[in-house]
Amino acid sequence: MNISEIEDLIRRIPKTDLHCHLDGSIRLTTLLDIAKKEGLPLPADTDAGLNESVFKDRYENLEDYLRTFGLSCSVMQRPEYLERIACELAEDAQADGVRYLEVRFAPQLHITEDMDMKTILVSVNKGLRRAKHDFNMREEVLNGSEPKFHYGIIVCALRSFGAISDYYARFINAHAFSDPRSIHGLASEELARGAVKIRDELDLPIVGFDLAGAESGNPARYHRRAFRFAHANFMKKTVHAGEAYGAPSIFEAITELHADRIGHGYYLFDQSKIEDPAVQDRERYIRELVQYIADRRITVEVCLTSNLQTNPSIGELKNHTFAHMLKHGLSVTLCTDNRTVSKTTVSREIMLAIQHFGLSPHQLKNLIIYGFKRSFFPGPYLKKREYVRRCIDYYEQIVEGTELQEKG
Looking at the annotation, which residues are catalytic?
243
User: What is the full DSSP assignment across 295-307?
Assistant: HTT-EEEE-HHHH
User: CA-CA distance, 258 to 307, in Å (whole number)?
Assistant: 24
Backbone angles phi, psi at 337, to 5 degrees: 70, -70
Instruction: Compute the Cα dihedral for 187, 115, 127, 76 and give only its sign.
Output: negative
- Exposure of 51 by Cβ count < 10 A (0-12 exposed, 13-18 middle, 19+ buried)? middle
Residues contacting residue 82 through CB under 8 Å, at least 6 positions apart? 76, 110, 120, 123, 124, 127
* Of 223, 206, 213, 198, nearest in space to 104 by CA: 206
- 211 Rama class: left (phi>0) / alpha (psi -120 to 50) / beta: beta
Helix segments in 54-165, DSSP class H: 62-66, 68-74, 79-95, 117-136, 139-142
- 209 Rama class: left (phi>0) / alpha (psi -120 to 50) / beta: beta
User: In one letter, which amino acid is 203?
Assistant: D
Q: What is the 3-state secondary structure (H, E, C) of 263-291?
A: EECHHHHCHHHCCCCCCCCHHHHHHHHHH
